[in-house]
Structure 1
Amino acid sequence: MLTCRHSGGRWQGKSNSTPWPAMTSWGSLAAIVFLQPSLFLSVVVKRKRQLEIFEGRAGDEYRAMVSWKGIYFVLTLFLGSFFGSIFMLGPLLPLMFFSPSWYRWITDRVVATWLTLPVALLEIVFGAKVVITGDGFIPGERSVIIMNHRTRMDWMFLWNCLLRYSYLRLEKICLKSSLKGIPGFGWAMQVAAFIFIHRRWEEDKNHFENMLDYFCDINEPLQLLIFPEGTDLTDNTKARSNEFAEKNGLQKYEYVLHPRTTGFTFIVERLRDGNNLDAIHDITVAYPQNIPQTEKHLLYGNFPKEIHFHVQRYPVQSLPTSREELQLWCQKRWEEKEERLRLFYEGKKYFDATGRSKIPPCKSEFRVMVVKCISLFYWTSFTLAMFVLLYLYSFVRWYFVILVVIFVMQQKAFGGLELLELACHRFFSKKLRNSERD
């Protein structure tokens, strides 16, 4: 069994709260599954259908069993992303050196097929209910999505919303740079040109400039998800946020953290100047039951029973033009989120009085169900087929090994596939400018 601590009605987020500290990130989970599957599977003594928690007084030690649901979810996503990176994205890598814009167009759509898999698992297999209220998306529009960061998994749960109200192929996410080295997940994120940051503005500013200018140059619609809070809501992060509020004479928050506005204002200004921004979507996410704070809670089978999204759309024409006013605008949105979430959690746990989705989706629920069923069938069949091919054919095994080496070594040599793609784009742009001069 795995051990974790529960104190004062909250799961503690410290890494030393479990004797298995490796189970604190997707990277660690992937490493265990990929490198030491026997160690991973030995944890499961019995197959359990739900998270088992042995109640006791606050502050006592609790024991949680890894559930079959959690194992199935993590393994399915990991193997799909791992084999998808090797056998679906791998053959497309040479296209980067001939036409970065076509490479981007094709790989965005291939990656989007995998993004439907977590949606299918959460809703079909685990029965999660999705409720969306507020404003709708305009299909294909270019936007910045700002969202409160309740758990470390919010970015993945948002796909349940975007599948209905937008196109998953348009989404890019700002993520911490350590995630890009994860086998499978990280490789696919590099191919998808997600923006990896170090959370130090001096280092991140230049990278933001390069990536945002690239998306503007190739005229590919972009929906960029950012978390202005910078980290997820825990007791520790809330204490730091309240300390900041006290020093600066601001309101202390209970349900959100004070946003960091420097990156937000820079992104909005850069995309607006590059004529690649139509709106800002301000999304508030809430979980009435089962809040999976970290990846390890998914292994315990602690999936959300309901995910509520409230969407507010702000056209770019309505946004302030000065940087200072844009910062105040962002802070105002977080004041509204705090009040909205307070009413949600202290009330009936609905953003809307009816408790049902108010806005018509861009796609019918029947169409969404068809997409989810196809995704579940395809990725299950694809994963099994790759195992069979690896077992039967030596040339497939050689191809597999070569691609793994390429994915690992390119990151050491170039820093990531998204940076290599950026370098290729600069090369072709410079070549085009020189030819125009001649």
Structure 2
Amino acid sequence: MNHRTRLDWMFLWCCLLRYSYLRLEKICLKAVLKAVPGFGWAMQVACFVFIQRRWEDDKKHMENMLDYFCDIREPLQLLLFPEGTDLTENTRAKSDVFAAQNNLPKFEYVLHPRTTGFTFIVDRLRKGDNLDAVHDITVAYPKNIPQTERHLILGHFPREIHFHVRRYSVALLPTSSSDLESWCRERWAEKEVRLRDFYSGEPRAFDRDGVARVPPCKSELRVALIKAASLLYWSGFIALCFTGLWLWAPFRLYFLVMVGVYMAQQKLIGGLELLEMSCHRYWKSMAADDGEKKKVLDGKMQ
């Protein structure tokens, strides 16, 4: 997905709510976000893929995470922003420098993608037989663009959000890393043209490229009920938490203990997602040892 604002991943939830399942989504994002109290801890529990954005540091961690996902065989949707950061005047200038150094065209509506992580993820998931397709998602904001969280706090929500989604099955993807890099760059060149046409046209809308619109898998009634239930639950949960902190000493003690536990585990272990992988490796090795012992025992009995 292109990264127009820092909030794109959040707005994509609206699309996934209608066309897929939110519980399947995991995001590849900056490691500093895991330290955000509450929010970052929840992302650790959800086993998001946190990266330092230095390939020499990220390669082994990403390999372990992807192998874990392949090993547990749980359905997975991994959201990746190959641009690495959101589109601003500063990041566009850096992208232009990269384009000049590598004899590439300058982009106005997207940044040049970093293809190393993308090709690694595709190769690793494909080797683990856990890759069904790559969805090429282009997002655009025709009315106003909320660039950061500050805009949401001030009430500047986007009046419209448009998504263009094209599915590429694994059979259509190139097999070599170099061809995958070229494939990814071609998709971004298409995004640049698609977004230029979007913002220059009236009314602003994506061309369907001759493909019929796919109906949502959930009805608007079901979506409305999910949103209403979520609003009621989280409003009640937050109110209960503040009431508990204000009135009940045991609740305050529990709160302090949990904050201490989360901060300590992150300091000592590095995050709950790492603890989850360590537990999985331990139980897997224990199961393998038990299997070997059983084979030896069966052999002796025979």
CA distance in 2, matches of 1:154, 1:288: 14
Q: Equivalences for 1:377-392 in 2 at 5 Å?
A: 377-392=232-247
Structure 1 segments unaligned to the other structure (5+ residues):
1-146
Could you tell me which residue of structure 1 aligns to residue 160 of structure 2?
Answer: 306
Could you tell me which residue of structure 2 aligns to residue 346 of structure 1?
Answer: 200
Q: How far off its partner does 1:366 sit?
A: 1.1
Deviations 1:347-405 (A, max 9, x none): 1211148xxx9320010111101111111111111211222233343222221111111
Q: How far off its partner does 1:304 sit?
A: 0.6
Quick one: which of 114, 133, 138 aligns to 1:279?
133
SS of the residue 2:135 aligns to = strand
CA distance in 2, matches of 1:400, 1:237: 40
TM-score, normalising length: structure 1: 0.65
CA distance in 2, matches of 1:322, 1:302: 44
Quick one: which of 156, 160, 169 aligns to 1:315?
169
Q: How far off its partner does 1:259 sit?
A: 0.6
Deviations 1:393-425 (A, max 9, x none): 322222111111101111001011111111111
SS of the residue 1:150 aligns to = coil
Quick one: which of 248, 256, 265 aligns to 1:410?
265
CA distance in 2, matches of 1:243, 1:411: 37
Question: Quick one: which amino acid aligns to residue 162 of structure 1?
Answer: L
Could you tell me which residue of structure 2 aligns to residue 362 of structure 1?
Answer: 217
Structure 2 segments unaligned to the other structure (5+ residues):
294-302
CA distance in 2, matches of 1:264, 1:296: 30
Could you tell me which residue of structure 2 aligns to residue 421 of structure 1?
Answer: 276
Question: Quick one: which amino acid aligns to residue 192 of structure 2?
Answer: E
Q: Equivalences for 1:76-87 in 2 at 5 Å?
A: none
Question: Quick one: which amino acid aligns to residue 4 of structure 2?
Answer: R
Could you tell me which residue of structure 2 aligns to residue 401 of structure 1?
Answer: 256
Question: Quick one: which amino acid aligns to residue 189 of structure 1?
Answer: M
Two-structure CA RMSD over aligned residues (Å): 1.2
Deviations 1:317-354 (A, max 9, x none): 1111111111111011001100000000011211148x
CA distance in 2, matches of 1:396, 1:296: 31
Aligned residues: 289
Deviations 1:28-82 (A, max 9, x none): xxxxxxxxxxxxxxxxxxxxxxxxxxxxxxxxxxxxxxxxxxxxxxxxxxxxxxx
Deviations 1:230-259 (A, max 9, x none): 111111111111111112111111100111
Could you tell me which residue of structure 2 aligns to residue 179 of structure 1?
Answer: 33
CA distance in 1, matches of 2:248, 2:85: 45
SS of the residue 1:310 aligns to = strand
CA distance in 2, matches of 1:230, 1:390: 39
Q: How far off its partner does 1:171 sit?
A: 0.4
Deviations 1:109-160 (A, max 9, x none): xxxxxxxxxxxxxxxxxxxxxxxxxxxxxxxxxxxxxx00000111111101
Deviations 1:167-224 (A, max 9, x none): 1011000110111010111000010000110000000000000000001111111100
Question: Quick one: which amino acid aligns to residue 256 of structure 1?
Answer: V
Question: Quick one: which amino acid aligns to residue 433 of structure 1?
Answer: A
CA distance in 2, matches of 1:336, 1:352: 12
Question: Which contiguous aligned blocks of 4+ residues in structure 1 show a shift greater than 6 angstroms?
Answer: none
Q: Equivalences for 1:148-187 in 2 at 5 Å?
A: 148-187=2-41
Q: Equivalences for 1:64-213 in 2 at 5 Å?
A: 147-213=1-67
Q: Equivalences for 1:26-37 in 2 at 5 Å?
A: none
SS of the residue 1:306 aligns to = coil
Identity %: 65
Question: Quick one: which amino acid aligns to residue 63 of structure 2?
Answer: E
CA distance in 2, matches of 1:248, 1:384: 54
Q: Equivalences for 1:200-279 in 2 at 5 Å?
A: 200-279=54-133
CA distance in 1, matches of 2:150, 2:244: 32
